[in-house]
Amino acid sequence: MDILTAIKTRSSFRSFLDEPVPSDLVREILAEASRAPSALNMQPWEVHVVVGSERKRLSKRLIRSYKERGVTCGPGASRPLPGKFIERARKCADDMGPLIRKMGYDFKEYVNEGSLNFYGAPCAIFIFLDESFPPERMVDIGSFLAFLLLASFAKGLGSCPVGLVNSYSEELRDFMNIPDSKKLVISIALGKPDPAQPVNDFRAERADINEFVRWLD
């Protein structure tokens, strides 16, 4: 698969088959992701992988905490967002909702508990950044994440970045014995998508570039 095909056709999947992903394949994907650019080649990303029964055990703990604390998915903004971003998020939920209900699930329950269950994916990947790095190094993490998602897709796997886990990062660090000095940036569900589930047919629209590009010439 060439890179442009991967960029144009990759999407996030939210239902996975309970089939293990070979560890060698995960290592290959991570090695390819590590080709991502970073400032002065520092490669600041730190990656933890949880699979199999440990992934399921972790999800049980995260979901238990969710039921106690009730922190849910959302834009996660510290200030009010401009209207167009709220509209995009609302449209995404409106378009995805019927597909999830078709599967017999409540939308909010599926998205929240599903996020913490990594939508049933057998492999969960966590990317951390040490607190000694300035916020600007999040750009490097973003590059690594993009390479990881595209490499996974090119290798025949599905993936989905999961943001809600960040709200339960204390539980995650405790489970994995990770020091507080490591900041969880993003989690990724990885596995073979379940082709029978309607939610995996969802495709989000993209804005025309004229909405976000300004030319000076």
pLDDT digits (tens, 9 = 90+) for 6-19: 999 999 999 999 99
- 148 Cβ contact list (under 8 Å, min separation 6): 29, 30, 32, 33, 125, 159, 188
Phi-psi region of 71 (alpha: psi -120 to 50; beta: other; left: phi over 0): beta
CATH class of 3-70+81-202: alpha beta
* Average pLDDT, rounded, for the chain: 95
pLDDT for the residue numbered 77: 64
H or E element, residue 144: helix 138-154
Domains of the chain, residue spans = 3-70+81-202
Average pLDDT of span 94-119: 96
Average pLDDT of span 134-141: 97
pLDDT for the residue numbered 50: 98
pLDDT digits (tens, 9 = 90+) for 16-62: 999 999 999 999 999 999 999 999 999 999 999 999 999 999 999 99
79 vs 174, residue with greater confidence: 174
Q: pTM value?
A: 0.95
pLDDT for the residue numbered 149: 98
What are the φ and ψ backbone dihedral angles of 37, each rounded to 5 degrees?
-70, 150
Q: Which sign does the torsion angle of CA 168, 74, 138, 161 carry?
A: positive
pLDDT digits (tens, 9 = 90+) for 60-81: 999 999 999 999 987 776 678 8
4: tokens are: 């442009």
pLDDT for the residue numbered 133: 97
